Chains A and B, each alone.
Chain A
Amino acid sequence: MNVAEKTKTIQPDSLIGKRIPKMDAPEKASGKTRYIHDIDLPGQLHGKILRSARVHARIRSIDTSAARALPGVHVVITAADIPDQRPIGVAKDHLPLKRDRVRSQRDEIAAVAAESEEIALQALKLIKVEYEDLPIISDPTEAIKPGAPLIHPEPHGADGSHEHLKQGMPVAYAGKPDNIAMRFDYGHGDVAQGEAESDVVIEDTFKLHYVTHCCMGVSGIIAEFDASGNLLMYSNTQVPFLHKREFAEYLNMDPSRIRIIQPPIGGGFGSKLDIYPFEVICVFLARAAKRPVKMVFSREEEFLASPTRQPVLLTLRSGCRKDGTLTFRQVHTLHDNGAYTSWGATTPFVMMQTFSSLYRVPHCDYHTTAVYTNNPYAGSFRGYGNLQATFAIEAHMDKLAEAIGMDPLDFRLKNAQEKGEVTGQGMSFKSCGFKECLTTAASRSDFRRKHRENIRNRNTPDPVKRGIGIASMLHVGGGAKIYPSDGCGTILKLDDFAHVTLITGASEIGQGSETVLSQLVCEELGLPISAVTVVNNDTDITPWDVGVHASRTTFIAGNSAIGAAKKAKAKILAAAAKKFECPEADLDLRGGFIIKAASGEPLIDLARLMRNLHFTEKAELVMTTFYYEPPSKHQDKGFKGDVSAAYAWATQVVEVEVDTETGIVRMTRVTGAHDVGRVLNRLGIEGQIEGGVVMGQGYALTEDLTIENGVMRNPNFRDYKLVTAPEIPEMDISFIESMDGEGPQGAKGVGEAPAICIAAATANAIYNATGVRIYGLPFTPERVYRALHGKAEKPYWKPWKPE
């Protein structure tokens, strides 16, 4: 016990709240991390996809003979070669290889696997496709009109080949009688009554635009079958276990024969939540070629074929009383679903929460129609509909406050939710730092004073006007029970050097979950962070998890890891108690030792105890498992229920300078206050928030995926503008620690929160600076300039829902 003797007592110490560098950072900063693009398997072929040259057309014929004849080409496939293809996606409306019809610019028609990428690309050029153009619908308001051409027509009449397929089949076979992809209708209270009780009622339409993830690492996959027909995929999916099952279905395989390995990922942000055609096609190629096939996108392809944050037309009607009490909200939205249905269609789950529950609204009525068009299709993207919803709500919060002559901060404070409340939608706020977020962000930014002064300065001769705007958000922070399970498993083992291997179902997508989970485990076991190795990327090894989404990993995987660590601790202490013949309760773990809990005096170092267990007593392995399922509920048919175990809150104050002679808006400062439950890793959480703020800045000011008649005009970083370093605002971020009772060490999820209110707060800031409200995004110089000169068209969409 040499070491222990030297250190008389070990002081309590905690890793929680510290600035812990990411465990994988040194490798990444040395260029040693191997992303999917960097992995090459022996004998590997390169896959490429031929995409549609038309936006909406019937495919008359495909001739691949010349491509097949090209030396170096191993296989060429079209839908005709894969008769057992099954539709993929959330609504099963999407065949990976298109059969008789293309519905959007990116549609997959054929694919090639060849010796090199160059040969594969050459082969694509040799494939001849004859098209017969169909009318293009790229405007969702046109798509819902009766008699509009259908994107997924029912296969009857002349095209009788599918007639034997009954209704109830997937959309890909049975078609749809209209262009409506999905509907969401929610309500609580009685909006008519709410309106009658209102002193002020306003209605506006907001027009939100297309943006896309732009992960710096483009999409890719490698698929390989072994000699017995087992499939191994290197994939960047965020949801490996769900995808294993889905792939099995699409490939008509036994799921247990599919293994997914997830190499480190070059950014996710929600984009890897669905299975996309290229992944299935790559597996088809590997199956046909009997060789590993790697498929990696070009940046242009990444733009064309990745999912988007969808455009939304949103008409909001809201009211309040003179005393500042909100009375009702009525929302109709029209979502451009694109040609196929992915997770984007389901964002109303989140949007309606914001409408029903961010502020206290006694009466709420919400309707969404997601409509098929020939545009790019809508996926899930950090914030999941919440950016769009918050944009509309916070504009109305300002407008209502102004209409009744109330300070915008007071108006919000009056209607803000508090701890203990259960909302009309059934969300129950067990911890809630919303009001503190509001007051903190406002006082740290000197909001009230600046807001008043800016209004006074609107008419000064200086062409550059200053503005300040506030907006807040509510988002799930304790998982989201969108599947019957929202659980996560952990396996934890200690070796005889007291090194921990934490095997978790939760994938790392760059957000730093590995580090946080290690911290939580070390906190229980009294070990330094270097004592942990995390294994999280192989479905043959890791236990079940629903996947990385809904800001759930810290909360769910964190609780799971703590559960496993607690069990390990109990085992260790039991063994130590036996050894030292004392009650377990007298002992604790600290600094790598078993200590006397009362004095901190070290008794034996943990590694030595572990060796005792293994070599001398041959008693037991310290290897534990834990499965955590949060206490949240699946929503009922009316979308009511406490869907998350905890909710995260934030307020952001944005300051801008508007050059009225150019329309250029500079974001100068963002003051954020985030209720994160508790800060686990300060370095990590600051990074998440700063990154999210700047992503929100891009959504507000610069990013605009331009689609004209179904054609993407700017599939490159030259004209799709991400924020660059010199443009970032000063950032002042505070954390409100509401200590969630269910959260791991009190923490809640925050992954999505920071991007959500920036655009909303910016709109309010521009109004504060100029007196002009802009209802459409993004605030590019020309849009702002037009608005300032009365040349902007105010969007209007008459509330609509199908009978």
Chain B
Amino acid sequence: MSLKHDIEFTLNGVKRRATVGVGMTTLDMLRDVIGLSGTKYGCGEGECGACTIVVDGASLNSCLMFAVDCHGRNVTTIEGLASDAKADALRDAFVLHGAVQCGFCTPGMMMQASHLLACHPDADADTIKRGIEGNLCRCTGYKKIVDAIASVGETAK
């Protein structure tokens, strides 16, 4: 069987340990080893963004990241974002603007949106569209997602 490795990192603000296969993705670690199912598998190839998480302040595709590389880093998933009061405005905006349909892309969108707003608090529609170009949504046509993110940026101003 594949080689295992022990890592220690901060997950959603809490220090923790995990034993993971060396070839394992961070996505599989989160879902199968740690049991947090908010981060979604949509393609496993970096093309859809459903698995987006934030690591050391930058958004990444967790399906492309080796789990062992989480060692010593600060990882935030949708579960962490959802329990962060600062992110309530973003969640409310997604709800009120109708940015959620089947919801499968939503956790990844929320993560990417939070990172986008952290980098560009006053992002306009075009910046937002570019910012979420790595997140596919089959239901909404993106418009309401862009509106939702823009509304948070505006209120932050």
Query: Per the CB under 8 Å rule, do A and B touch in the complex?
Result: yes
List residues of A whose CB falls within 8 A of some B CB.
19, 21-22, 24-35, 37-38, 213-218, 264-269, 298-299, 509-512, 683-684, 686-687, 690-695, 716-718, 722, 724-726, 728, 731
Task: Report the Cα distance A731→B125, complex, angstroms.
Answer: 14
B129 is contacted by which of A299, A690, A726 (Cβ under 8 Å)?
A: A726
Give B residues with C-beta under 8 Å from A. 31, 37-45, 47-48, 50, 77-79, 81-82, 91, 94-107, 110, 126, 128-130, 132-146
Judge whether A725 and B101 touch: CB under 8 Å: no
Contact A510 B139 (CB under 8 A): yes
Residues of A within 8 A of B145 (CB): 725
Which residues of B are found within 8 Å of A31, using beta-carbon distances?
37-39, 77-79, 81-82, 106-107, 110
A717 contacts B101, C-beta separation under 8 Å: no
Closest to A698 in B: B138
| Contact of A21 with B95 in the complex, beta carbons under 8 Å | yes
CA distance A269 to B102 in the complex (A): 11
6 intermolecular pairs with C-beta atoms under 8 Å apart: A31-B39, A214-B138, A215-B102, A269-B138, A691-B138, A726-B133
Q: How far is the CA of A510 from the CA of B100 in the complex (A)?
A: 9
Within the complex, the shortest CB–CB distance from B120 to chain A, in Å, comes to: 15
Chain B residues near A32: list those with CB within 8 A.
Answer: 38, 82
In the complex, the chain B residue whose C-beta lies closest to that of A119 is B1
Task: Give bound CA distance, A536 to B105, whole Å.
Answer: 23
Cross-chain contact A725 with B133 (CB below 8 angstroms)? yes
Q: Please tell me if the beta carbons of B78 and A686 are within 8 angstroms of each other in the complex.
A: no
Q: Which residues of A have CB within 8 Å of B102?
A: 215-217, 264-268, 509-510
Residue of B nearest to A724 (CB): B133
Interface contact B98-A684, CB-CB below 8 Å? yes
Considering the chains assembled together, what is the distance between the CA atoms of A25 and B103 in angstroms?
Answer: 7
Please state if B91 and A29 are interface contacts (CB–CB under 8 Å): yes
Asked if A266 meets B104 with Cβ closer than 8 Å, knowing A216-B136, A716-B47, the reply is yes
Identify the closest chain B residue to A216 (Cβ): B104
* Residues of chain A contacted by B132 (CB below 8 angstroms): 725
Separation of A216 and B137 alpha carbons in the complex (Å) = 7
Q: Which residues of B contact A213 (CB under 8 A)?
A: 138
Q: Quick check: B144 and A218 within 8 Å, CB to CB?
A: no
Whether the pair A299, B45 counts as a contact (CB closer than 8 A) is yes
Q: Which residues of A contact B79 (CB under 8 A)?
A: 31
On whether the beta carbons of A25 and B94 are closer than 8 Å, the reply is yes
Report how far A717 CA is from B133 CA in the complex, Å. Answer: 13
The reply to whether A25 and B144 contact each other, CB–CB distance below 8 Å, is no
Q: A21-B98, A716-B47 are in contact. Are A728 and B138 (CB under 8 A)?
A: no
Q: Which 10 A-B pairs have the closest CB atoms?
A: A31-B38, A28-B103, A510-B102, A31-B78, A266-B104, A694-B141, A690-B141, A717-B47, A38-B37, A30-B82
Partner of B139, one of A264, A691, A693: A691
Contact A722 B136 (CB under 8 A): yes
* Chain B, residue nearest A693 (CB): B141
Asked whether, in the complex, the Cβ of B40 is within 8 Å of the Cβ of A217, the reply is yes
Which residue of chain B is the closest to A718 with respect to CB atoms?
B47
B44 touching A24 by the CB < 8 A rule? Answer: no
Report how far A21 CA is from B94 CA in the complex, Å.
9
Give which listed residue, B38, B95, B106, B140, contacts A691 with CB less than 8 A: B140
Give me 6 other A-B pairs in contact (C-beta within 8 A), A690-B142, A717-B136 excluded: A31-B81, A35-B40, A216-B104, A264-B103, A687-B144, A731-B141
Report yes or no: B41 in contact with A725, Cβ–Cβ below 8 A.
no
In terms of DSSP, what is the predominant structure of the interface of chain A?
Answer: loop
Are A717 and B48 also in contact (CB < 8 A) when A31-B39, A37-B40 are? yes
A686:B98 contact, CB within 8 angstroms: yes
Which of B41, B78, B100, B138 sits near A722, CB closer than 8 Å?
Answer: B138
Nearest chain B CB to A220's CB is how many angstroms away?
11
Query: Contact check: which of A19, A29, A510, A686 meets B94 at CB < 8 Å?
Result: A29
Among A30, A268, A299, A724, the residue within 8 A (CB) of B42 is A299
Contacts of A299 in B (CB 8 A): 42-45
**A268 vs chain B, min Cβ distance (A):** 8
Q: How far is the CB of A152 from chain B (nearest CB, A)?
A: 33
Min CB–CB distance A237 → chain B (angstroms)? 15
Q: Which residues of B contact A268 (CB under 8 A)?
A: 102
Question: Which of chain A's residues have a CB closer than 8 A to the CB of B139?
Answer: 216, 267, 510, 687, 691
> B103–A24 contact, CB under 8 A?
yes
Given A31-B82, A725-B133, A511 contacting B101 (CB threshold 8 A): yes
Q: In whole angstroms, how far apart are the Cα atoms of A716 and B129 in the complex? A: 22
The answer to whether B98 touches A683 (Cβ under 8 A) is yes
Give the distance to chain A from B83, nearest Cβ to Cβ, in Å: 9
From A19, A25, A33, A510, name the one whose CB has the most chain B CB atoms within 10 angstroms. Answer: A25
Q: Are A22 and B98 touching (Cβ within 8 A)? A: yes
When C-beta atoms are compared, the residue in chain B nearest to A28 turns out to be: B103
A21 close to B138 (CB less than 8 A): no
Query: A299-B45, A716-B47, A725-B135 are contacts. A28–B39 as well, Cβ < 8 Å?
Result: no
Which residues does chain A contribute within 8 Å of B128, judged by CB atoms?
Answer: 725
Within the assembled complex, what's the spacing in Å between the Cα atoms of A539 and B62?
A: 36
The closest CB in chain A to the CB of B95 belongs to A25
Are B143 and A731 interface neighbours, CB within 8 A? yes
User: Are B100 and A28 within 8 A (Cβ)?
Assistant: yes
A267:B138 contact, CB within 8 angstroms: yes
For residue B134, which residue of chain A has the nearest CB?
A724
Given contacts A717-B136, A718-B45, contact A690 B95 (CB under 8 A): no
Complex interface: chain B residues within 8 A of A22 (CB): 95, 98, 100-101
- Smallest distance from the beta carbon of B44 to chain A beta carbons, Å? 6
Please measure, in the bound complex, the distance between the C-alpha atom of A690 and the C-alpha atom of B137, giving whole angstroms.
12
> What residues of chain B lie closer than 8 Å to A26, measured between beta carbons?
91, 95
Q: How far is the CA of A266 from the CA of B31 in the complex (A)?
A: 17
Given that A31-B79, A31-B82, A726-B130 are contacting pairs, would A298 and B104 also be in contact in the complex, using a CB cutoff of 8 Å? Answer: no
Most B C-beta atoms less than 10 A away, residue of A28, A35, A692: A28
